[in-house]
Amino acid sequence: MDRLISKFTDQRVLFSASFVVRLALVIYGDYQDRTMMVKYTDIDYHVFTDAASFITKGKSPYNRSTYRYTPLLAWLLTPNIYVNKMFGKILFIGCDILSGLLIYKILCLRGLGSETARRVSSLWFLNPLPMGVSSRGNAESILSALVLGTLLCMEGRRLIWAAVLYGLSVHMKIYPVTYALSIALTLRSPETTKENRRGWMRFIVVIGSFINAELLLFASVSGGVLCGLTALCYYIYGWQFLHETYLYHLTRRDIRHNFSPYFYMLYLTADSRWSQWLGLAVFVPQLILLVETSLAFHSDLAFSCFLHTAIFVSFNKVCTSQYFLWYLCLIPLVIPHLSLSLKHGVGLVLLWFAGQGIWLAPAYFLEFEGYNTFLLIWFAGLLFLIINCFILIQIITHYKPKKTPCRLKVE
């Protein structure tokens, strides 16, 4: 049995098998789209393709309503119009496989044997969730590849590359911006003296530790990439680009049901005087927790990024199932360091799925059967938050930090 598993997780077999399965799903998806009423392809994929088709006609991708992404994505997908409409899906499954490879590389860098690293990375390679998402034409895999690429370059101390990828990933989606504090804390100069300075002297030392060549290099390169791309897109598409890509997500007032614990509260107060303040107040728990996890776990960047993403998604004003993918790609980096028993781990996974199931049932009855289940959806949203926090607490308490916190120099 063990030999069978080891054979199956053999590097080449694993990579090619996971690619073939994804390719088969893409081909099957095309068949289902052509023959059945229920379509396999994600609605977003049609949005991307429509936006790309506007680009090929020399128009703005934002002519396609609900296109709320960087124009880079629409540019990237113009072969959908020129070559074949499957191009984007192939690109997405390519990024999906690349993410798996990056997970494998990061695990090796973090001191895991290649056999174990392969087994753990197969949690991504053979995971039906990312398989389904990328083969349905959802672009999340591009972002997971960028985020994992940033982490790999950070682990390998290739700072310029890390900064370029980080700038690019923040340009693509805003959420990785939450990693900034953790990255800054990892790059600051270590405190050389252990003297117990008090008051403002200590404050100056802490501030001073942030001023070093590495941190300045990272900040200027990633800031340069981000600002350069944003300025370029703003130059071409103007205010509409800024509004649709960034501001919309910040000021989003979509009151329709979603996994967020705040959904019903925001729906009921949407027209009241204090809705603006409530909208801002719900950022407070996110902010506190993000700053705290940065301070507490910055020495283990991958773990810190995982916690950031999970907290950001769980406490967000709007949360849909595709957001779960943002932290799913970071879980394989955390798992080898957990001292949980298999039973305990499986129990937590089942609990997470149960939390979603409990939410999905009343949401289905509201949306497709027309029952008034708003209150139940609210309860389920709160329960899902509690479950997510419980799981995160379990992960935090059972996390054994990597044994070599010293920075590895690799070629």
Partner 1 sequence: MYFVLVAVLTCLATCHCLNRMDEDENHCGQLKQWLESTSVSVSVDISKKGFHRDLITNIDLSPDVPRGIRVLLVYRWPSGVYVDPYQLASLRDQSDWQILLDSSIDLEVPAHKTLGFVTYVYPNHGDPPPRELKVVIPMHGRYHEPSSQKTFTSVDMQPPELLLQTEKCMQLNSFEPHAIVDAPCTVHNSSMCPWVKVQFQQEHGPVSFQLPVGDGSLVIPVCSGTLLVTIICCVLLSKYTWKHRISL
C-alpha distances in Å from residue 343, one per residue of 325, 332, 340, 348, 361: 23, 17, 8, 9, 27
CB of 14 to partner 1, least distance (A): 31
- Axis crossing angle, helix 87-109 with helix 140-155, rounded to the nearest 10: 30
* Both tokens assigned to 343: 């039973």
Core vs surface per residue 144-153: b (16+ CB within 10 A) or e? bbbbbbbbbb
Give the shortest CB-138-to-partner 1 separation in angstroms: 16
Figure out which of the listed residues 206, 270, 335, 410 binds partner 1, where binding follows CB under 8 A.
Answer: 270
- 50-79 residues near partner 1, rule: CB under 8 A: 50, 65-66
Phi and psi at residue 172, to the nearest 5°: -70, -45
Among 83, 240, 292, 349, binds partner 1 (CB under 8 A): 292
**Binding segment for partner 1 among 76-84, 110-118, 226-234, 364-372 (CB under 8 A)?**
364-372
- The reply on whether position 375 binds partner 1 by CB under 8 A is yes
Q: Which amino acid belongs to residue 113?
A: G
End-to-end Cα separation, the chain, in angstroms: 36
Q: Please identify, using beta-carbon distances, which residue of 125 and 378 lies nearer to partner 1.
A: 378
Rounded distance between C-alpha atoms, residue 86 and residue 339, angstroms: 43
Residue 307 near residue 396 (C-beta atoms within 8 A): yes
Q: Figure out which of the listed residues 211, 386, 408, 410 binds partner 1, where binding follows CB under 8 A.
A: 386
Q: Which of 16, 251, 272, 321 binds partner 1 (CB under 8 A)?
A: 272
Interface with partner 1 includes 98 (CB under 8 A)? no
Q: Which is nearer to partner 1, 128 or 372 (CB)?
A: 372
Site for partner 1 contains 335 (CB under 8 A): no
Q: Smallest distance, Å, CB 303 to partner 1?
A: 8
Number of Cβ within a 10 Å radius of residue 211: 10
User: Binding to partner 1 by residue 367, rule CB under 8 A?
Assistant: yes
Q: Is 282 in the site for partner 1 (CB under 8 A)?
A: yes
Q: Which of 295, 349, 350, 410 binds partner 1 (CB under 8 A)?
A: 295
For tokens 């700038």, what's the residue?
A: 167
User: Of 49 and 169, which has the nearer Cβ to partner 1?
Assistant: 49
313 binds partner 1 (CB under 8 A): no
> Which span sits near partner 1 by CB under 8 A: 145-153, 201-209, 259-267, 353-361?
259-267
Q: How far apart are CA 146 and CA 155, in angstroms?
A: 14
Asked if residue 197 binds partner 1 (CB under 8 A), the reply is no
Candidate ranges 18-26, 113-121, 284-292, 348-356; the one touching partner 1 (CB under 8 A):
284-292
- Cα(181)–Cα(162) distance, integer angstroms: 15
47 near partner 1 (CB under 8 A): yes
User: Which span sits near partner 1 by CB under 8 A: 79-87, 135-143, 160-168, 383-391?
Assistant: 383-391
3-state secondary structure at position 310: helix
Instruction: Give me the residues paired with residue 399 across strands.
Output: 338
Q: Amino acid letter at 38?
A: V
* Spatial distance between the Cα atoms of 329 and 313, rounded to a whole number of angstroms: 14
Residue pair 63/54 in contact (Cβ under 8 Å)? The answer is: yes
Q: Considering only the stretches 91-99, 106-114, 171-179, 368-376, report the one whose residues sit in contact with partner 1 under the rule CB under 8 A.
A: 368-376
Rounded to the nearest 10 degrees, how much is the dihedral formed by the CA atoms of 8, 9, 13, 16? Answer: 120
> What's the closest the beta carbon of residue 231 comes to partner 1, in angstroms?
29
Residues with Cβ < 8 Å from 378, sequence gap 6 or more?
Answer: 263, 264, 265
Q: Which two tokens stand for residue 188?
A: 């600051």
Binding of partner 1 at residue 405 (CB under 8 A)? yes
Residues 114-143 binding partner 1 (CB under 8 A) are none
Q: Please name the residue that has the structure tokens 């039906």.
A: 128
Question: What does the binding site for partner 1 look like in residue numbers (CB under 8 A)?
Answer: 43, 46-47, 50, 65-66, 190, 254-256, 261-262, 264-265, 267-272, 278, 282, 285, 288-289, 292-293, 295-297, 299-300, 307, 311, 315, 366-375, 378, 382, 385-386, 389, 392-393, 396-397, 399, 401, 405
